[in-house]
């Protein structure tokens, strides 16, 4: 049901429409002066900041979770808003003098509500993990704590007897979460043991159809009916397809679960109206969590959208699970959301998906196997086992050749979560630089060339190594030069000169 991407035309002139590379001229003097001020205290930090710009500019960045924020977003984060404590919510702070932070937070939340068509937005979470923790504790408060308080005839946990409090604490720790398995593309924060969510919830997973690699909604429903979770999680960090959130909500309703959608990876595609109707999580989920720095192209941070019944519980995120908000980052979120409400952002989001389709087509044509055989979002998951390589070898060989990716498990990965058989790549960052379909086809050619020219080293026992490899003579240098040429043709922050 999610397999067929809608017909898309790749607009020529996309680069111009999306504001390619973000003109950095106006920010040039500000950054030159700032680095001088910083350098006078700790020159090595000023140097590292400058070096990072150079590295970002030189890199063919295909990391699916990364992007480039605009100079406006970046500049908004470096100022005295940072010096203010503002625990609580707008108009209800635990500290005095928060009027400007109130303005900032209210504006960020208003932009988020308008951008996503959400009844309520909470912009304090410092990261995606924090947004999920806020959401999980809001659901626990609403579905477990509130009924317990009502039953005891009290309004506040402090009024419970010690015995009732002990019972409630056990109940809070005895809930279930159903989420997408890690090897199908789910995220560690969706109830997996190494993350605190796995210590809070009894977790069970749904996977993808082993034949097609696609989400199997009938299987999700069957698992949900058996497992009866409090929370049904949807969302992913390595699934290359759309998710039918209307279908997920139906399943949640059938089993009395709360649907929480983590759109950390694809929030930009929701904001840019590429994912609409059944594929837009906002109208269907009880609670939506997200990062702001991935495809959404804002500052590093998180946020939560919710239906009105969860709004009060989400508002308690700080100091429930969050430290004091970062006002400078909330301000930058407001700027990023304002940018995302402009028509140019919708063009950007569409270009991200068009480019991913071009990249997938280019790889497939050159013999690279893809999980689900393609994509309808911003990412492509390569199965490199056909080249006799592990994901780790492919990731390192590509990096040697100037191509930045990350290894990732594929469904039922025989190489496990460390070596893996996959490489995950995405288009948000290079699309921000103005890459179009032709450039991504060239990227596909470079990647396929590196994979085809990489051979695993044979270990002393005669087995192929899972980590070591050799690259064909001159391949790394040739690819590096080609990657550098592509990147040079699409400068990042043109006009930004640190002097």
Ligand X SMILES: *Cc1c(COP(=O)(O)O)cnc(C)c1O
Residues that bind ligand X (CB under 6 A): 65, 127-129, 187, 189, 235, 237, 262, 264-265, 291, 302
Helices (H) then strands (E): counts for the chain:
21, 17
Residue with nearest beta carbon to ligand X: 128
Residues 471 and 398 sit within 8 Å (Cβ to Cβ): no
* Shortest reach from residue 33's CB to ligand X, in Å: 30
Distance of alpha carbon 67 from alpha carbon 432, whole angstroms: 7
Paired tokens of 179: 């989420």
Handedness of CA 168, 173, 174, 178 (dihedral sign): positive
The gap between the terminal CA atoms of the chain, to the nearest Å, is: 53
265 preceded by a cis bond (ω within 30 of 0): no
Distance of alpha carbon 364 from alpha carbon 383, whole angstroms: 11
Q: Which residues are annotated as a binding site?
A: 182, 186-188
Report the residue number, 127 or 393, with the smaller CB distance to ligand X.
127
Q: Strand, coil or helix: what is 391?
A: helix
Report the residue number, 93 or 293, with the smaller CB distance to ligand X.
293
Residues 382 and 370 sit within 8 Å (Cβ to Cβ): yes
One of 61, 241, 242, 294 is an active-site residue; which one?
294
Q: Which residues are annotated as a binding site for (6S)-5,6,7,8-tetrahydrofolate?
A: 182, 186-188
Report the residue number, 262 or 315, with the smaller CB distance to ligand X.
262
Report the residue number, 192 or 493, with the smaller CB distance to ligand X.
192
* Shortest reach from residue 267's CB to ligand X, in Å: 10
Which one, of 73, 27, 124, lies nearest residue 493 by Cα?
Answer: 27
* Shortest reach from residue 274's CB to ligand X, in Å: 17
Q: Would residue 8 show up in a list of annotated catalytic residues for this protein?
A: no
Give 77-105 as a DSSP string.
TSSGGGG----EETTEESSS--HHHHHHH
Report the residue number, 233 or 437, with the smaller CB distance to ligand X.
233
* Shortest reach from residue 265's CB to ligand X, in Å: 5
* Shortest reach from residue 387's CB to ligand X, in Å: 27
Q: Would residue 84 show up in a list of annotated catalytic residues for this protein?
A: no
Q: Strand, coil or helix: what is 234?
A: strand
Quick one: which H or E segment has residue 239? none
One of 14, 89, 291, 454 is an active-site residue; which one?
291
CB-count exposure of residue 231 (10 Å: 0-12, 13-18, 19+): buried
Which one, of 422, 433, 259, 264, lies nearest residue 352 by Cα?
Answer: 433
Q: Strand, coil or helix: what is 124?
A: coil
Report the residue number, 136 or 493, with the smaller CB distance to ligand X.
136
Paired tokens of 289: 């969590």
Q: Would residue 23 show up in a list of annotated catalytic residues for this protein?
A: no
Which one, of 74, 90, 68, 64, lies nearest residue 18 by Cα?
Answer: 68
Which one, of 284, 283, 279, 288, lies nearest residue 122 by Cα?
Answer: 288
CB-count exposure of residue 464 (10 Å: 0-12, 13-18, 19+): middle
Distance of alpha carbon 219 from alpha carbon 207, whole angstroms: 8
Q: Would residue 455 show up in a list of annotated catalytic residues for this protein?
A: no
Report the residue number, 264 or 356, with the smaller CB distance to ligand X.
264
Q: Would residue 161 show up in a list of annotated catalytic residues for this protein?
A: no
* Shortest reach from residue 409's CB to ligand X, in Å: 14
Report the residue number, 21 or 281, with the smaller CB distance to ligand X.
281
One of 66, 145, 244, 262 is an active-site residue; which one?
262
* Shortest reach from residue 406's CB to ligand X, in Å: 12
Handedness of CA 264, 269, 270, 276 (dihedral sign): negative
Q: Would residue 294 show up in a list of annotated catalytic residues for this protein?
A: yes
* Shortest reach from residue 460's CB to ligand X, in Å: 39
Residues marked active site are found at 85, 87, 262, 291, 294, 300
């Amino acid at each position: 049901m999610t397999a067929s991407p809608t017909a898309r035309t790749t607009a020529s002139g996309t680069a111009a429409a999306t504001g390619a590379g973000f003109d950095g001229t106006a920010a040039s003097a500000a950054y030159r002066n700032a680095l001088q001020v910083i350098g006078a205290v700790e020159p090595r930090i000023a140097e590292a900041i400058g070096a990072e710009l150079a590295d970002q500019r030189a890199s063919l960045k295909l990391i699916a979770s990364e992007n480039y924020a605009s100079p406006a977003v970046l500049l908004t984060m470096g100022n005295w808003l940072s010096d203010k404590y503002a625990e609580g919510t707008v108009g209800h702070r635990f500290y005095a003098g928060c009027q400007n932070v109130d303005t900032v937070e209210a504006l960020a939340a208003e932009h988020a509500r308008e951008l996503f068509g959400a009844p309520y937005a909470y912009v304090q979470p410092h990261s995606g993990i924090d947004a999920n923790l806020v959401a999980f504790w809001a659901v626990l408060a609403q579905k477990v704590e509130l009924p317990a308080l009502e039953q005891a005839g009290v309004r506040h946990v402090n009024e419970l007897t010690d015995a009732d409090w002990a019972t409630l604490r056990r109940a809070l720790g005895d809930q279930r979460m159903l989420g997408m398995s890690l090897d199908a593309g789910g995220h560690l924060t969706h109830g997996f043991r190494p993350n605190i969510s796995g210590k809070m919830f009894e977790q069970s997973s749904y996977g993808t159809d082993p034949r097609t690699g696609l989400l199997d909604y009938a299987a999700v429903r069957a698992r949900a009916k058996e497992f009866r979770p409090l929370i049904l999680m949807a969302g992913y960090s390595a699934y290359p397809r759309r998710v039918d959130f209307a279908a997920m909500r139906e399943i949640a309703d059938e089993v009395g679960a709360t649907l929480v959608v983590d759109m950390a990876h694809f929030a930009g595609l929701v904001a840019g109206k590429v994912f609409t109707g059944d594929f837009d999580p906002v109208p269907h989920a009880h609670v939506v969590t997200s990062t702001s720095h991935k495809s959404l192209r804002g500052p590093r941070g998180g946020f939560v959208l919710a239906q009105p019944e969860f709004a009060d519980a989400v508002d308690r995120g700080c100091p429930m699970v969050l430290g004091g908000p970062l006002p400078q980052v909330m301000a930058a979120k407001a700027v990023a959301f304002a940018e995302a409400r402009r028509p140019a952002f919708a063009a950007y989001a569409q270009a991200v998906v068009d480019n991913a389709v071009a990249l997938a087509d280019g790889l497939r044509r050159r013999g690279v196997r893809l999980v689900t055989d393609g994509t309808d979002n911003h990412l492509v998951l390569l199965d490199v086992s056909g080249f006799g390589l592990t994901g780790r070898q492919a990731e390192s060989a590509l990096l040697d050749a100037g191509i930045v990716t990350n290894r990732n498990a594929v469904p039922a990965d025989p190489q496990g979560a460390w070596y893996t058989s996959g490489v995950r790549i995405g288009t948000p960052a290079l699309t921000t630089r103005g890459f179009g379909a032709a450039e991504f086809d060239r990227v596909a050619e470079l990647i396929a060339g590196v994979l085809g020219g990489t051979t695993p080293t044979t270990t002393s026992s005669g087995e192929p190594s899972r980590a070591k490899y050799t690259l064909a003579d001159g391949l790394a240098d040739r690819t590096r030069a080609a990657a550098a040429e592509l990147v040079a043709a699409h400068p990042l922050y043109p006009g930004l000169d640190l002097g």
